[in-house]
């Protein structure tokens, strides 16, 4: 039966699809090192105990009715204080919108800003921008980020496409790469956006920046997070932040996210979401409103949580570097942030023990899954060519004691190739 053009042509999330296939293999008894989904095993990475207690307490106090469509006032006030203290950004109540995680906010922003045929610029690899652009029937302006820049786009990459564009979608720290914008790189992009907007007339639609900073508190070593508004104050009227508790507190299922941006855009996003009903649950809002102000509990949680994530990322990175040193065709980008490691497995043209040649990257992916039990997400799930040998590895469900075993099995699988 014929349905809408959108539903007939909708592509299922490649990552969700792959994750489902991996879970089925595990269910069948296969030993799989599952580094696919950007989620957490709560037995390894539980949410902060104080947040958990506050959620339970809120339900016991019967906070089970509808919240305000834009987010409860106490939560938005807490977000204002939290953001001011930890990021030195100063926003007001009417410049903040709360929803059930970040996804509804991204969807609402695309809907609020973009019309059919509008130019939407996004880099690849990146998470889900292709799907959101398809939702609004925008023109896909895909900019391929380069490995030599740790897969983060530059102003020079964006400059040829900037004229007449409506939205640029950027993420830092980035999903899928776990890398970040350097200060001067992001500043140059901001300069480019401001320059472009200054060249437009009052009747022209402005060029807006979606800035997803979901992982911004998860940086390691001497890596620092930079944001457009702090680097270039004029960007305040063009930047819409996407943030949440999902990753920073291992709370992907708790579903509390927020957006910060110009009041007139936030109002339109709120109107769109009011018809969708994508608000964060009342009890969770009440709990997060209190938790965001408990800076000592947050500090204590992050110290341990970040150390555990960094240890896993570093250990796997070092394992890949050892394999590379041994002459195997693998590589990795040093971890900077988030829960992801960018790895390279370049085996096209190699022959298996049975003499079969690995002719495509898809066959390489299948080989390492079958022979090493290693499940990772190829970068083609994030918009790059299917021939690219790069992958995202996520450590949210990683047990430390399995890392050496995984590297050993990968080495064994690689050694069988000729």
Please name which of 98, 106, 233, 89 lies closest in space to residue 167, comparing C-alpha atoms: 106
387-408 burial, b at 16+ Cβ within 10 Å, e below that, comes to: ebbbbbbbbbbbeeeebeebbe
Task: Note the helical H segments in 118-212.
Answer: 129-135, 155-158, 183-198
Local structure of 140: helix, strand or coil: strand
Give the count of beta carbons closer than 10 Å to the beta carbon of residue 332: 22
What pLDDT, on the 0 to 100 scale, is given for residue 14?
A: 66
Backbone angles phi, psi at 55, to 5 degrees: -65, -45
Cβ atoms 58, 286 nearer than 8 A? yes
Residues 99 and 201 in one domain: yes
Please say which residue of 294, 327, 355 terminates a domain: 294
Tens place of pLDDT per residue across the chain (418 aa): 788 988 887 776 666 677 777 878 888 888 899 999 899 999 999 999 999 999 999 999 999 999 999 999 999 999 999 999 999 999 999 999 999 999 999 999 999 999 999 999 999 999 999 999 999 999 999 999 999 999 999 999 999 999 999 999 999 999 999 999 999 999 999 999 999 999 999 999 999 999 999 999 999 999 999 999 999 999 999 999 999 999 999 999 999 999 999 999 999 999 999 999 999 999 999 999 999 999 999 999 999 999 999 999 999 999 999 999 999 999 999 999 999 999 999 999 999 999 999 999 999 999 999 899 999 999 999 999 999 999 999 999 999 999 999 999 999 999 999 9
Residues 207 and 117 in one domain: yes
Residue 62 φ/ψ region, left for φ over 0, alpha for ψ in the -120 to 50 degree band, beta for the rest: left
List residues bridging with 219 in a β-sheet: 337
206-216 burial, b at 16+ Cβ within 10 Å, e below that, comes to: bbbbbbbbbbb
Residues 40 and 125 in one domain: no
The token duo for 218 is 């998860």
Q: Report the relative pairing of strands 239-244 and 208-212 from DSSP bridges.
A: parallel
Residues 93 and 11 in one domain: no
Residues 11 and 58 in one domain: no
CATH code, domain carrying 13:
3.90.1150.10
Residue 121 CA to residue 114 CA, distance in Å, equals: 11
Please name which of 81, 58, 68 lies closest in space to residue 270, comparing C-alpha atoms: 68
List residues bridging with 169 in a β-sheet: 210
List residues bridging with 141 in a β-sheet: 121
DSSP code of residue 391: E
Distances (CA, A) of 374 to 157, 291, 300, 365, 393: 33, 37, 33, 9, 10
What pLDDT, on the 0 to 100 scale, is given for residue 24?
A: 81
Residue 391 CA to residue 398 CA, distance in Å, equals: 16
Residues 210 and 231 in one domain: yes
Task: Note the helical H segments in 326-402.
Answer: 361-372
Residues 33 and 113 in one domain: no
Residues 250 and 336 in one domain: no
Cβ atoms 254, 47 nearer than 8 A? yes
The token duo for 203 is 């009747």
**356 exposed, middle or buried (CB, 10 Å; 0-12, 13-18, 19+)?**
exposed
Please name which of 128, 89, 92 lies closest in space to residue 109, comparing C-alpha atoms: 128
Residue 366 CA to residue 369 CA, distance in Å, equals: 5
Please say which residue of 241, 264, 294 terminates a domain: 294
CATH code, domain carrying 244:
3.40.640.10
Whole-model pTM: value is 0.95
Residues 217 and 73 in one domain: yes
Residues 246 and 327 in one domain: no
Residues 226 and 342 in one domain: no
Residue carrying the six token digits 């690899």: 125
Considering its fold, how many domains does the chain have in total? 2
Please say which residue of 251, 269, 294 terminates a domain: 294
Cβ atoms 32, 373 nearer than 8 A? yes
Q: What's the domain range around 124?
A: 49-294
Cβ atoms 232, 184 nearer than 8 A? no
Residues 283 and 312 in one domain: no
């Amino acid at each position: 039966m014929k349905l809408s053009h959108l539903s007939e042509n909708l592509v299922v999330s490649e990552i969700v699809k792959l994750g489902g296939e991996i879970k089925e293999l595990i269910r069948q008894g296969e030993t799989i090192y599952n580094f696919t989904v950007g989620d957490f095993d709560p037995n390894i990475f539980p949410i902060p105990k104080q947040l958990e207690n506050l959620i339970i307490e809120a339900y016991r106090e019967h906070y089970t009715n509808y919240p305000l469509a834009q987010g409860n006032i106490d939560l938005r006030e807490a977000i204002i204080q939290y953001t001011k203290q930890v990021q030195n950004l100063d926003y007001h109540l009417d410049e903040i919108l709360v929803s059930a995680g970040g996804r509804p906010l991204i969807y609402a922003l695309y809907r609020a800003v973009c019309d059919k045929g509008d130019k939407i610029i996004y880099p690849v690899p990146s998470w889900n921008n292709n799907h959101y652009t398809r939702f609004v029937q925008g023109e896909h302006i895909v900019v391929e980020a380069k490995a030599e820049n740790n897969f983060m786009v530059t102003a020079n990459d964006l400059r040829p496409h900037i004229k007449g564009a409506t939205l640029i979608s950027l993420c830092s720290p980035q999903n899928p790469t776990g890398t970040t914008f350097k200060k001067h790189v992001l500043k140059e992009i901001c300069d480019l956006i401001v320059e472009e907007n200054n060249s437009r007339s009052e009747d022209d639609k402005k060029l807006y920046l979606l800035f997803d900073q979901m992982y911004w508190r998860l940086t390691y070593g001497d890596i620092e997070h930079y944001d457009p508004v702090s680097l270039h104050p004029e960007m305040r009227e063009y930047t819409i932040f996407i943030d949440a508790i999902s990753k920073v507190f291992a709370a992907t299922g708790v579903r509390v996210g927020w957006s910060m941006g110009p009041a007139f855009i936030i109002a339109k996003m709120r109107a769109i979401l009011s018809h969708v009903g994508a608000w964060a649950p009342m009890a969770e809002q009440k709990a997060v409103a209190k938790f965001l102000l408990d800076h000592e509990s947050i500090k204590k949680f992050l110290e341990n949580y970040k150390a555990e994530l960094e240890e896993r990322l570093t250990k796997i990175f070092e394992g890949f570097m050892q394999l590379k040193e041994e002459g195997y065709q693998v590589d990795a980008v040093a971890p900077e942030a988030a829960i992801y490691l960018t790895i390279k497995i370049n085996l096209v043209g190699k022959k298996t023990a049975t003499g079969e040649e690995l002719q495509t990257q898809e066959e390489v992916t299948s080989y390492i899954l079958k022979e090493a039990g290693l499940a990772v997400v190829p970068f083609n799930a994030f918009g790059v060519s299917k021939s690219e040998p790069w992958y995202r590895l996520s450590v949210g469900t990683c047990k430390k004691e399995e890392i050496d075993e995984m590297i050993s099995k990968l080495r064994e699988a690689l050694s069988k190739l000729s």
